[in-house]
Amino acid sequence: MKAFLTFFAIGGFIAGSIANPIAISNSVEKRQEDDYAALGATLTTLLADIQKQTAIINSTLETVPENVSEDQATTDAAQIAPQLQAITDLITAVNGTVVKRALVEARFGKPDLFKTLSIIIYEILGTVKFTLFKLGLGKVVIYVTPLVLSLKSLLFSLDLVVGGVLLAVGPLVNEVLKAVGLALIGLV
């Protein structure tokens, strides 16, 4: 009789140990989803905030004539400086939380990381090119330099977390640098 009860006890022990990791795994996933929701800023919210600022910059620059005078260019550069600084501050402020969230998204298999990051870079690229075309680099270099450096910092941080970010968005970043480089050549 003792052997018979031991058989059921061992069977119960095996069944309990098999079922237990499933419960633990579900509780860990639930906790990770709660942490994921609490991480804050995402690349999508960063994109929305950047688009608001670039819309203000673009609407300001649309009123600038083709051959702008030196004084007018200085005035217009001062008008868009807060928005360029706001974009820089947005990228710098969310760098840590976006990296943490990207790590969680990579675990959950979120494939839109590269797409959203590419859209952010295109948005900044378009605005920087339009700004350089309208005002020239000489008036906005002090505002564009921190913007490009903060974008570089975000890309390097994301590349450490999700390998291949630089390979995926490298050509886009090269476009930003090429636009600034061509404007530098125009100054010489």
Residue-level pLDDT at 25: 47
Instruction: Tell me what the mean pLDDT of segment 60-70 comes to.
Output: 87
Q: Are 73 and 114 in contact, with CB atoms under 8 Å apart?
A: no
Give the pTM.
0.68
Residue-level pLDDT at 52: 95
Residue-level pLDDT at 145: 87
Choose the weakest-confidence range: 18-32, 53-67, 164-178.
18-32
